Every structure is written in C-alpha cells, then in structure tokens.
Structure 1
C-alpha cells in the first residue's frame, strides 16, 4: 500500500509545472495505468498455496479454463485483489529476509480445527500483481499521488470472500483518501444454517465499519456471495422459492438467523449489486424445519432475494 498521503485536497496547479504535468489528464491516467494496473490476465492469478485460517475460503484456487488444464485467467475489465486472513505465524515466512516487514494491523482469529482458540495474525493479498517497484510514483508530489492513488484504488474490486475479519484492519490501514477511492468490494456470507455466534460478531463488525459515515467509503458496486445449501441429487427441483415480496414483508433483519441483514440494509448509494449463490451440499430439507427453511432460502438467493436487495440498495438513475 502507498505511504500515507496528505490530508489536503489534491494540488491541481503549479507555478512552473513539469512537462509531465502539462500533459492532458487522460494521457497521465494512461501512463499511471501502465504502472498500477495489471497488463496480462495472468498477472492476477492467485497463489497456489491455499489460505487455511479461521474460515473456509470459497474461492476456487484450482479453476481451469474450459476444456484445458490451464489455470483460469483474470478478468482485466474487472481486476480483483483477493485479501485473505493468513495462518497465524506464517506471514513472516512469506517476506524475504532482506526485506522489511510491512506494517499492518494485527487481529485475532479462531484458528484450530474446532475454532476454539484465538491467535493474532494479519491479512495478505494472495494475488499480488507485483506493483511494489512502481509505487514510488505515489511519493513524487501531491498531484501525482492523488491522481495515481485514485486510479489504483478505484480500478480494483477488493475481494474478502468469507474473510470478513480482515475488512476493518485492511481498510483502517489505508489513508482516508485511498479508502474513499474504493468503489467495489466482494464478500461472502457463510452458511446461515451453521452460523455461530462469533460468525455473527465478525459480520456485524465488518458491516458496521463499511456503513459508518466516519469510514467515508463511497461504494458503487457490491458483489455478495451467499453460501447456499443444495441437498441430494434433485437439489432445488421441487423446492418453492421465496419471492421478493416475501422478503419485503417479513422484516428480514428481525428473522432468526438473518440478523446480519440489519447492517447490510444500511449500505447506501450502490450503482450495482451482484448477488450469487455459492452452492454447497447440505442435508435434506426433511431433517428439520430450520433446514427446510434454509434450503428454501438457498433456492431463492439469485431470484427473490437478489431482487429484494437490489430494490433496497441500488440507486435507480434519474432519466432527464
């Protein structure tokens, strides 16, 4: 991440501007893009060392291109940086001995098999596009810092998957200007039927931070994954779906197991919301009423639930 930026507004004019700053803004942005954005689809491939920490990661590290053994390449039109919680104690091993350890906030995670013990660790970008040698650009002067930093942070989607405990420390370590430049975030909500009290606390803490006015985020896009249970071989074939009207009428944030909705519904100003079901196997709906309700909700994630959230969170542009 770049060094702390000045708290003042960007300086737009100099008495004797350099030849570079006399270039049209669109040309300067093209030059910045060559330095802070990925050039090839393979620049954003994740590391093949899976992250095993306090939470299951629903990103598919082993996804292949259709019909080949080649890794699935990144989408350069929507470049994504994957921020993950590290295994406690492994961070120092990832930094070469001759390099200083970056200063990052530490936080506690539940890390043993049964998630009963807490240890301190930090976050890490698992698909680092290797921009470190170019970030000196952000220290040239105020104007270049603001122009390049805004392009850098507004161009990437910051993907936390289920590692929501990393959201607060990661965003807190950024400068206010860098934080306000972020436009797109991706998170995944863990399976509701198996949610624990500490899951609720982690999610509530992250969402309260994202929606706080003091955080000064200005999100335009949210990618929301919901872990959805699909039982047996027939899946959701005969499972009735909940409609958007059902979700509007039943006060979702007050439903048992849906308390996390309270903070999600406080997000304002979205221009785009992408809701996806992250499908995993679950027991049959006949096991219990709670499981039947979860399976029905899961079948509705990309239909009624997605339409309900878009109606609540997405700002409809006014046509003149």
Structure 2
C-alpha cells in the first residue's frame, strides 16, 4: 500500500523513532482559536486539535508505489540530518523580513489605562520597536468591543475562539464581550503546508514555530488565558517566551488585580503545560515630570523582601511562583503622574516606580532566574 501522510501531530522525544501522539486534524489560520478545530471535528471523534493552517484535502493515495520511497516507507526528507531539517523549517515558519512583523495598531477602548500600546514605534521612525528577526514577537491584543460587534453581529456566527468580557466605557464600569487577535500576523500562512506532511515533521516544525516567537500581551493580561487555553498542551509546552505589562499600581481596580492573579496562576499551573524560559516584564511607572525621580530614595533588593508582604503588593507573590527562567527582562514603562505631595499613596507609587529598573529588577532576578 502506498504511503499515506497522516495529519496527526506528535512530539518527538530524545530519539526520532520514539514518538508520542498528541493531536491530529485539519489546520486553520495561524494563531486562531484551536477550539474552532475542536468544534468542527467534534462530531467525528471528539478530540482536540492543534490548528495551524487551513489546507486542502490530501490527494487520494496512488495505487502504485512512488520510486522516491524506500521499501520501509520512510520519507527521504526525514533521512536528512536534524540540523538541516530545522533550517528548512525555519525558512518556512519564521519571518524573513522585519516588515512582516510590523503591527497594524488600532485604538482599543476596552480599558482607559491601556488604550494604546507602549513602545509602539521606534523613536523617529515608523517601525515597530519590537520588529526583530533575531527574536520575532507576536502581538496578542484584545479586539475593541465595538469592532468585535461589527465583525460578528447577531446574524453572523461568533468565532469559536474563547470569548471574554472587558471594561469598555470611560469609567471602566460596564463589561462587554470580545476576544483576542494578533495585530502583526506574519506572512507565513502559505508555507505552513509542511505541518501537514506527517507526524514527525508536524512535531518538529510546530515546536520550532511556537518556541521561536515571543508572545506579547502588553497590558492586555485578560487575553492570556483565552489565547493559551485555545492551544493544545503540546503547543503550550513549546512556548518559551512571553511578555506582559503590569498596569499602574496607583490606578488599578479590583478587576485589574483579579485579571493579573488569574493570568499568573494559569502560567504557573502544572496543568497548563507551560515551561517558560524567558520573561519580559514591563511595569507602568509613574514619574512626575522629566526629572521627577532625581531626589527620590529608591528601594533596594533587600527592601522588597519585606515589601512583598505589604497590602497592595500581593501581585508580586504570583510572579515569584514562576520558576526555571533562564532570562528575565524588567523594564519601566514610564508615564506622567501627579507629584508625590498629593497623597501618601502617590508618593509610595513614585518611589516604587523609581526602583523598577534597580532594586526591583535585582530582587526578581535573584528569585526567578535559575543559576
């Protein structure tokens, strides 16, 4: 019988010939909801699938054996050294031009605190500050509820990806339903047919695909759980790098704290199958004027051992549950704030802000980065 390519996705172990089946099925557009595939195939076998691209049906097997196949049925491509196969995969699933990663930003009214993306552009240019081929980044953002409603009216079927509610009015008092999207989807969809070849190539290419990108959520931490839970455990286990931003402590509400704690608990839960190796953490830091930190006494790394136990600093506890990091980046996302003379709470916030790239970064690095 002729070789029939399978759509099952597997993950290779230490040896190529040792393979574990983790998912299978048709493919849909990159970084869309894997639950789309789940619902589409639920009537067949009820299994959950890793959706990477929508591809045409495979041709019917030929009644004659292809001369390119060995007697044992192994593909000539799989007989290539692993290093060469990985180079081929990288040409297919990774961007070739930095312009392919430039985002299409839009104003998001879901929160008055993050209606724009921090570090949106490089200074004096139209290029994204994170459009890099050495460390490609995918920007996952919440869709504006107004745009979501126009794209998916009541008469049109809603997307199968996970949906959630966000605070969307001026005073952040009302909730509206929406979902997430990638604002800089790279131009690699046409090359993802390699993922449909067979089990082994799917596992190898998918691991390179998810492991090479940094998934950036910025302040849209409410999108972390919906996006990651739409992936299969195999896909989540391949993710190695994530970026997100902690909203300004001086202005956060109770739902901000709930979104933060839920997202961090999901990232650190063993049932999520996520093993991060790199974390890029941004902290919205308030500075009263250009020289507002010049005479501010900053906290040291030792001070944060005590500060973590104080009220309103419990958000640090969830960060400390992240283990096994090999690289940690902590940066202050600076924005203007009132002077510290207005209130004691604002003065404390300014002092903490001035310490983000000093004592706070040193403290987290000591706690989280594996030696």
Aligned-pair distance for 1:186? 0.3
Q: Which residue of 2 aligns with 1:163?
A: 220
Aligned-pair distance for 1:102? 5.8
1:236 maps onto 2:275 in alignment: no
Q: Is the 8 A contact 1:83 1:158 kept in 2?
A: yes
Aligned-pair distance for 1:315? 0.3
Q: Is the 8 A contact 1:65 1:72 kept in 2?
A: no
Q: Deviations over 1:202-239 (max 9, x none)?
A: 00110010010100111000000000000034210000
Q: Which residue of 2 aligns with 1:110?
A: 167
1:38 maps onto 2:95 in alignment: yes
Bigger drift between 225-234 and 298-307 goes to 225-234
- Which residue, out of 264, 271, 279, partners 2:319? 264
Distance (whole Å) between structure 2 residues aligned to residue 273 and residue 122 of structure 1: 28
Q: Deviations over 1:125-162 (max 9, x none)?
A: 00110222222322221101110000001101000000
Distance (whole Å) between structure 1 residues aligned to residue 107 and residue 276 of structure 2: 29
Q: Which residue of 2 aligns with 1:285?
A: 340
Q: Which residue of 1 aligns with 2:245?
A: 188
1:275 maps onto 2:330 in alignment: yes
1:71 maps onto 2:71 in alignment: no
Q: Which residue of 2 aligns with 1:315?
A: 370
1:21 partner SS: helix
Q: Which residue of 2 aligns with 1:204?
A: 261
Q: Normalising by structure 1, what TM-score?
A: 0.89
Q: Deviations over 1:274-315 (max 9, x none)?
A: 000000000101111111111000000000000000010000
Distance (whole Å) between structure 1 residues aligned to residue 146 and residue 193 of structure 2: 29
2:359 partner SS: helix
Distance (whole Å) between structure 2 residues aligned to residue 131 and residue 46 of structure 1: 15
Aligned-pair distance for 1:75? 1.3
Distance (whole Å) between structure 1 residues aligned to residue 8 and residue 150 of structure 2: 29
Aligned-pair distance for 1:112? 1.4
Q: Is the 8 A contact 1:5 1:177 kept in 2?
A: no
Distance (whole Å) between structure 2 residues aligned to residue 308 and residue 158 of structure 1: 24
1:176 maps onto 2:233 in alignment: yes
**Which ranges in structure 1 are unaligned for 5 or more consecutive residues?**
none
Bigger drift between 259-268 and 50-59 goes to 50-59
Q: Which residue of 2 aligns with 1:60?
A: 119
Q: Which residue of 2 aligns with 1:12?
A: 16
Aligned-pair distance for 1:41? 1.1
Distance (whole Å) between structure 2 residues aligned to residue 149 and residue 7 of structure 1: 9
Q: Deviations over 1:244-280 (max 9, x none)?
A: 01112x150x322212111111000001110000000
Q: Deviations over 1:72-127 (max 9, x none)?
A: 461111110000010125247679xxxx9863111111111211111111110001
2:79 partner SS: coil
Q: Deviations over 1:45-85 (max 9, x none)?
A: 01043333235043333x2455xx44246111111000001
Q: Which residue of 1 aligns with 2:31?
A: none
Q: Is the 8 A contact 1:229 1:298 kept in 2?
A: yes
**Which ranges in structure 2 are unaligned for 5 or more consecutive residues?**
1-6, 18-69
Residues 71-110 of structure 1: pairs in structure 2 closer than 5 A? 71-72=127-128, 74-91=131-148, 103-110=160-167
Distance (whole Å) between structure 2 residues aligned to residue 40 and residue 300 of structure 1: 37
1:162 partner SS: coil
Bigger drift between 111-120 and 189-198 goes to 111-120
Q: Is the 8 A contact 1:87 1:121 kept in 2?
A: yes
**Pair 106,7 (structure 1): closer, same or farther in 2 beyond 3 Å:** farther
Distance (whole Å) between structure 1 residues aligned to residue 206 and residue 212 of structure 2: 10
Q: Normalising by structure 2, what TM-score?
A: 0.77
Q: Is the 8 A contact 2:101 2:136 kept in 1?
A: yes
Q: Which residue of 2 aligns with 1:29?
A: 86
2:312 partner SS: coil
Distance (whole Å) between structure 2 residues aligned to residue 176 and residue 92 of structure 1: 30
Aligned-pair distance for 1:6? 4.2
Aligned residues: 304
Aligned-pair distance for 1:16? 2.4
